[in-house]
Amino acid sequence: MKILLIGGGGREHSLAWKMAQSKLCDRMWAAPGNPGIAEHAECVDIDIMDSDAVVAFAKENGVGLVVIGPEDPLANGLGDAVRKAGILCFGPSAEGARIEADKVYAKNLMRAAAVPTAEARVFTDLESAKAYVLSREHGVAVKASGLAKGKGVVVCPEPYQAVKPLEEMMRDRIFGDAGASVVIEEMLIGQEATVLAFCDGKNIYVAEPLQDHKPVGDGDTGPNTGGMGAYSPVPIIDDAMMSRIEREVLVPIIDAMRRDFGRYEGVLYAGLMFTPGGPKVIEFNCRFGDPECQPLLMRLRSDLVEVMIATAERRLDEVTLDWDPRHSVCVVMSSGGYPGDYTKGFEITGIAEAEQAPDVKVFHAGTAIREGKLVNNGGRVLGVTALGETTAEARRLAYEAVAKIKWRDCYNRTDIASKAIGGNE
Ligand code: AMP
Ligand code: GLY
């Protein structure tokens, strides 16, 4: 089978790395790809927001499966265009992608399906939003309704702290039209974890749980990012909790989507907070998480292409997901300054040395080749991922690998996965 992978971040590098191991993969292209993905696929310069151009390339080259990594092309209808052309697609329709791209829609759907989630109100008027937060006694989370690269959420333990982000989102439009309406939620307290499920429109198949680290600083301080590291499995989620999440969250939301528009196909990501009142949904995403995909796929033993084809052909019940019992940890190395301004173009060294350790893989996110040298070219630059018998061992291996990699002003959190092993050692 010939495969076209859409995207060019760490998530897509891990997808390309895993799909390239499949006996079913004859040839792979990636649009736009990155220097890490280029080891497994031919990178092509197609505008992924131009669905017609992507479909034309797929047809010309006899592509049998299109795998869509990021949310933007999904929300833009690429999944629909690919399926309409009679090509297998891994990724939901534009209607399905609304579960992520439109937080107001997602909130209403959760309410209708009685999926446990934070209490929320929606505002399109800045003054009303400000008056509302100032009337609150407890913390709030302010969320731009549209897509904002994982940065459109500000958690405010004191309600008055919400005024500035509301002004920035609604008046200054720092996230563009994504801030035309905002969702203001009660602030939930508890540990977070992510559960992903493969969905074929009929069956769902839940993957191993993960935990992401959204804030940029150690101890969960500073602004939110796309994710600074992740690990799997997660000690707070045992089998009984997993069944509860499937029953109370995944099945009802998939049913609600079926009633609303039809089949949801691809991967559904549930970001959850484990509150004293049970698990509550913080967000749904219409794709694999990034970086979560990297430690997840390190643990997947099954043939990913086989699973994706089965999902696209609506026979997910015929495959099994076989997981490595070992634990995985991914530490994201970013450009200094991210999620704010940063400088691109510094030479990166040490990746080959870092990958000499067994069960260590360095996934590329924001990298580029300039004048024959590998340089940083984005906020999140590398996902340094390791497998170990325990989370502590995987974490040690990941950080040993991180220590070998350098570029000017590179940055990483030093406490990824410390919650899973108790304390902040
Ligand atoms: P999201 O982009 O919706 O996942 O939000 C980013 C991060 O903000 C989450 O991973 C949480 O850490 C935090 N967050 C979002 N909503 C809430 C909430 N209602 N209460 C507390 N923290 C939240
Ligand atoms: N790491 C969080 C996300 O992919 O949305």
CA atoms within 13 A on the CB side of 344: 11
Task: Give CATH superfamily name and number for 327-420.
Answer: Phosphoribosylglycinamide synthetase, C-terminal domain (3.90.600.10)
Atom of ligand 2 nearest to the CA of 292: 1
- Domain ranges, ordered by start, for the chain: 2-94, 125-180, 189-318, 327-420
Q: Does position 424 have pLDDT exceeding 60, yes or no?
A: no
Name the burial class of residue 322, with classes exposed (0-12), middle (13-18) and buried (19+) by CB atoms within 10 angstroms of its CB.
exposed
Ligand nearest to the CA of 273: 1
Phi-psi region of 319 (alpha: psi -120 to 50; beta: other; left: phi over 0): beta
Task: Tell me how far CA of residue 15 lies from CA of 149, 162, 179, in angstroms.
Answer: 19, 37, 31
Closest ligand 2 atom number to CA of residue 290 = 4
Does 330 score more than 60 pLDDT?
yes
The pocket around ligand 1, CB under 6 angstroms, is made up of 118, 141, 143, 150, 153, 155, 185, 187-188, 192, 214, 224, 271, 282-283
Retrieve residue 371's tokens: 């004048």
Judged against a pLDDT cut of 70, whether residue 360 lies above it is answered with yes
Q: Per-residue pLDDT averaged across 381-406, rounded?
A: 98
Q: Could you tell me the two tokens for 38?
A: 């280029």
133-156: average pLDDT: 88
Distance 14 CA to ligand 2 centre (A): 14
CA distances from 346 to 26, 263, 367, 388, 401 (A): 35, 45, 10, 31, 19
Q: How many whole angstroms from 44 Cα to the centroid of ligand 2?
A: 25
Distance 291 CA to ligand 2 centre (A): 7
pLDDT score at 387: 98
Nearest CA to ligand 2 atom 4: 289
Residues 270, 273, 274, 276, CA torsion sign: negative
* Residue 51 pLDDT exceeds 80: yes
Stretch 5-11: mean pLDDT: 98
Class of 125-180 in CATH = alpha beta
User: What pLDDT was estimated at residue 244?
Assistant: 96
pTM of the model: 0.94
Q: Whose CA is nearest to atom 2 of ligand 2?
A: 289
* Domain 189-318 in CATH 3.30.470.20: yes
Q: Mean of the pLDDT values across residues 330-340?
A: 97
Q: What is the mean pLDDT of residues 361-367?
A: 98
Q: Which of 192, 285, 363, 413 to probe ligand 2 with, by most ligand atoms within 8 A of CB?
A: 285
Cα separation of 365 and 146, whole Å? 23
Which of 51-65, 145-159, 206-220, 376-390 is predicted least confidently? 145-159
* Per-residue model confidence (pLDDT) at position 179: 81
Taking only the tens place, the pLDDT of each residue in 80-102 is 999 999 999 999 999 999 999 99
Asked whether residue 149 carries a pLDDT value surpassing 80, the answer given is: no
- CA 284/CA 297 separation, integer angstroms: 20
> How much is the pLDDT for 341?
96
Å from CA of 92 to ligand 1 middle: 23
Which pLDDT tens digit goes with each residue over 224-272? Answer: 899 999 999 999 899 999 999 999 999 999 999 999 999 999 999 999 9
| Tens-digit pLDDT profile for residues 104-118 | 899 999 999 999 999
Q: Is the pLDDT of residue 423 over 80?
A: no
d(CA 67, CA 89): 6
Instruction: Find the residues whose C-beta lies inside 6 A of ligand 2.
Output: 150, 212, 226-227, 285, 289-290, 292
- The arithmetic mean of pLDDT across residues 64-80, rounded, is 98
Note the ligand closest to the C-alpha atom of 156: 1
What is the average pLDDT value for the chain, to the nearest integer? Answer: 95
**Closest CA to ligand 2's atom 5:** 289
Q: Which atom from ligand 1 is nearest to the alpha carbon of 212? A: 10
User: How large is the average pLDDT for residues 310-321?
Assistant: 97
Q: Which atom of ligand 1 is nearest to the CA of 214?
A: 10
pLDDT score, position 425: 37
> Does domain 2-94 correspond to CATH entry 3.30.465.10?
no
Closest ligand 2 atom to Cα of 150: 5
Residue 150 binned pLDDT confidence (cut-offs 50, 70, 90): low
